[in-house]
Amino acid sequence: MLKKSLLGCLLMGSMAFPARAQLQTWGEYPDVPRLMPNSVTNGNRDLSQIDPLRALQNLDEIEVQSWLRKQNDLTGRLLSRINARDELLARLQDLDIASRVQKNVATTPLVMKTIVPPMAKKSARIELKVTGAEIYTQSASDQRTRLIIRNEIIGSERVLYVENPGEHLLRVAAAPDAKHLALMLEQPSGEVLIRVVSVLDGELSDDNIFCASAGSVAEPSMIWTADSSALIYSQSLAASSLNKTDIWLHVIGQPQKNDKIIIGAQATGTFAKKLKMSSLDVPVITALTGTPLLLLSISQSEEKTEGRAGGKERSYFYVNQSEIRTTEIPWKNFAMPVDKVQSLIQEGEQLFLLTNKKSASGEILKMDLSKASDKLQLSQFKELVKASATEIKDIAVSKTHLFWHALAADDSRSKLFKLDLTNGALAELTLPESGVLTQLHVDHDTELLSFNLKTANASAGAYTMTPQGKTTVVTAAVPMQREVVKEGNPVERRPLLIPAADGRSLSVDLSYLRGFEKNAEHPVLLRIAPGTDVATEFGDMAWLEKGGVIANLNINVAGTQSAKVVDAVSDIATVARYLVKENYASPKKLVAEEMQSGNSALIKAMLRQPDLFAAVAAHDVASEELPKAPGLIKPKINTPRTAYAELRAEVAYPAILLTADAKSTKAPIWMTAKLAAGLQILSTNKNKPVLLQTMAQSTTTEDALTQKANRWAFFLWQTGVQEFSLKPQQIFTR
């Protein structure tokens, strides 16, 4: 079918393609290059005659490079004409900042917070120094973080560790002798493990330490002993009534079954016995940066403090790291439950403490760690914010500001304050609504605040705020309907199990805003992702706020988890038909994207059933098979035809946005280019653009957000969302 279609166009164009594809109502496709391709013979057949677009594989040719530039220009001009695209990008940027602020927050019920070293954001840059070198993380376009070491003398760099797919590097701790790094890694399942990597050669040791089960709320601890021979870590079991969180000692090179509990209900040491801990008490160990001291915080269970004023009781202890050599650690008292310490935060060389000991309203104290010796005592703290008529509920500290929120006497509304730590200036920040503030946090680098605000007759909304008081709505509060207020996130999720053609069940996760009704009038984004773990992106709110729905489809690639051949193309079509049949979407409202490099399942599904979609987007499409080395086993997958071979003439294809990285190793750029050219020539629907955008490979978050804004604005335009209509066309000269 491809041969007939393209050769027909070739003959009609007098041994060349038409000067250009047909004139469009929104623009004009660039001329197809008029150069003779390199002929490749196969018996008596010339493959340049079988594949008339083969010339586009000659990326070094000036004509091909010029054609690619013109395609980029056309795509850029058209995308820039979509109304509200820039506003959508700004919203995605706000949501990205908010996500990085909130992901930096430990979900532990403890109020002991230590900003440096942080519990890393999933996308945050980790930096630390060892003797003669700097170690840092860097994200790449494949969304996998690299741990890199840089020699400070000669500037050379090498990679020590690369995240596995679906894995997230949470924290890095360097051994005192700088020979090894401990890596805390969140797995796709939600479990947390600790691995040990050599600084010298990047080799992983056999140590594989289970740290926390999925759903654990305790902040994991990970500290080296003074002689670098062992790790002290916390182990949290979310689904167990015993040993919910314990502190263990692991000797490097030994199996985890030999590890010993040093803090916990079942610990046998002298100090541990004195604590009389229950299985529900939560201990956390934190290093005080810039000092040799380690801090142990123990939050007692509700059953111990039930009925007592002040709620949960917390005890704090400290020790010099040089004293940690055995399971018998000489912990010293710092603050006991009677001291009523509600929050303890380190920022640089300062410790900030919120206590209710002198007044139920609370006061904030500060201590300069640079002037402290090897002892930590409450008497070293000085008053910073005095108690007042309003009750201080929580504090947050950045590099230059202290923030706190206080609750009025009637408990009906919160006030938010900031203190400039450089000049002592005090100011009240105006909240976006009158209500009760919770979950106050601040990003250490950007100083951007995040918080939830519960207003009367509405669910809690999520916000960010600059130190200057500029507020951004992350999740809008949902007003009360029918006298019922639902607390929490207004995003609702619904899992679907859709029968596949071969009897399997396809797992699809739907997301939409509360109040959604199935009427086929909402723009529905079908998002295709490989593997078994599709994390809902924080930026999805930007799509949902436009009245949209997101359907995440997991595709199990054949040969990974099962011996059964998986027809991914059929699976995508099955889900698309289901969404239309069940009135979630209509073909005029259903769009889809597959942005993982080297795939082609979505494009094939669209080519076979173009009437199912309003628009699709794909990246680095593997539209043809690369030549295989002799003896290479062909992968077992039920897709006998390539996407390029699926092209047909006289078909009304939907709107299509194809993107490609110039240096992709999974799908060369010419594959996407040839596919785009064929679609531009063959599609009879000249009111539906086929766009091609090639770009240099980028690893920046800003570029990724720009590409997402382009795709989603393109989709919303094609689904008829009025806000994203096309601006009047300007006249361009070629």
pLDDT digits 0-9 by tens, 635-670: 333 345 788 888 999 899 999 999 998 776 578 899
Lowest-confidence pick of 110-114, 167-171, 518-522, 622-626: 110-114
How far apart are the C-alpha atoms of 701 and 26, rounded to whole Å? Answer: 30
Q: CB under 8 Å to 420, separation ≥6 — which residues?
A: 400, 401, 426, 427
Enter the tokens of residue 241. 């009534």
Q: Which residue has the tokens 């790449």?
A: 140
Across 583-598, average pLDDT = 92
Span 136-183, pLDDT tens digits: 888 776 667 889 998 888 888 889 999 887 788 888 999 989 899 999
CB 267 within 8 A of CB 298: no
Q: Which pLDDT belongs to residue 207?
A: 93
Query: How many other CB atoms are found less than 10 A from the CB of residue 227?
Result: 12
Sheet architecture: strand order including 157-162: 127-130, 133-139, 145-151, 157-162
Q: CB under 8 Å to 541, separation ≥6 — which residues?
A: 95, 474, 475, 491
Cα angle: 542, vertex 544, 549; to 5 degrees: 135
| More confident: 98 or 509 | 509
How far apart are the C-alpha atoms of 447 and 97, rounded to whole Å? Answer: 11
How far apart are the C-alpha atoms of 550 and 585, rounded to whole Å? Answer: 11
Give the best-scoring range by mean pLDDT among 208-212, 272-276, 414-418: 414-418
Helix (H) or strand (E) holding 526: strand 524-530
What rounded mean pLDDT belongs to the chain? 79
- Length of the chain in terms of residues written: 734
Across 404-416, average pLDDT = 83
578 exposure class (CB count in 10 Å sphere: 0-12, 13-18, 19+):
middle
Q: Which pLDDT belongs to residue 537?
A: 61
Q: Which pLDDT belongs to residue 242?
A: 45
* 79 residue type, one letter: L
Q: Which pLDDT belongs to residue 104?
A: 46
Single out the residue of 580, 635, 575 nearest to residue 605, CA to CA. Answer: 575
Q: Which pLDDT belongs to residue 125?
A: 67
pLDDT band at residue 264 using 50, 70 and 90 as cut-offs:
confident
Lowest-confidence pick of 437-446, 513-522, 535-544, 694-703: 694-703
CA distances (Å), origin 132, targets 150, 178, 466, 693 = 9, 10, 37, 43
What predicted TM-score, i.e. pTM, was given to this entire model? 0.61
Q: Which pLDDT belongs to residue 267?
A: 80
Give φ, ψ of 233 to 5 degrees. -145, 160
730 exposure class (CB count in 10 Å sphere: 0-12, 13-18, 19+):
exposed
217 exposure class (CB count in 10 Å sphere: 0-12, 13-18, 19+):
middle
Lowest-confidence pick of 95-104, 229-238, 323-332: 95-104
Across 90-105, average pLDDT = 70
Enter the tokens of residue 563. 């011996």
Q: Which pLDDT belongs to residue 123?
A: 46
3-state helix, strand, coil in the chain (%, to 5): 20, 35, 45
Single out the residue of 671, 686, 658 nearest to residue 623, CA to CA. Answer: 671
DSSP 636-656: --S--S-TGGG--SSB---EE
Lowest-confidence pick of 196-210, 449-463, 538-552: 449-463
Per DSSP, the three-state class of 164 is coil
| More confident: 589 or 731 | 589
How far apart are the C-alpha atoms of 247 and 561, rounded to whole Å? Answer: 35
Q: CB under 8 Å to 379, separation ≥6 — which residues?
A: none
Q: Which residue has the tokens 């008029």?
A: 34
* CA dihedral sign, ordered 565, 566, 569, 574: positive
Q: Which pLDDT belongs to residue 548?
A: 95
User: What residues are paired with 145 via a beta bridge?
Assistant: 139
Q: Which pLDDT belongs to residue 627?
A: 55
Q: Which pLDDT belongs to residue 6?
A: 52
Query: How many other CB atoms are found less than 10 A from the CB of residue 128?
Result: 15
pLDDT band at residue 682 using 50, 70 and 90 as cut-offs:
very high
CB 619 within 8 A of CB 596: yes
CB 551 within 8 A of CB 594: no
Enter the tokens of residue 700. 């920046």
Span 279-330, pLDDT tens digits: 778 888 888 877 888 888 888 755 444 444 444 578 898 888 888 766 678 8
Give φ, ψ of 191 to 5 degrees. -70, 155
Across 512-534, average pLDDT = 80
Across 272-284, average pLDDT = 79
How far apart are the C-alpha atoms of 644 and 621, rounded to whole Å? Answer: 10
Q: Which pLDDT belongs to residue 532?
A: 36
Distance of CA 577 to the CA centre of its chain: 29
The β-bridge relationship of strands 341-347 and 112-114 is parallel
CA distances (Å), origin 539, targets 91, 490, 596, 659, 708 = 8, 14, 18, 20, 10
Share of the chain above pLDDT 90, in %: 30
pLDDT band at residue 133 using 50, 70 and 90 as cut-offs:
confident
pLDDT band at residue 127 using 50, 70 and 90 as cut-offs:
confident
DSSP 590-640: EEEEE-STT--HHHHHHHH-GGG-SEEEEES---SPPPPPTTPPPP--S--
How far apart are the C-alpha atoms of 674 and 681, rounded to whole Å? Answer: 11
Q: Which pLDDT belongs to residue 676?
A: 94
Across 120-145, average pLDDT = 72
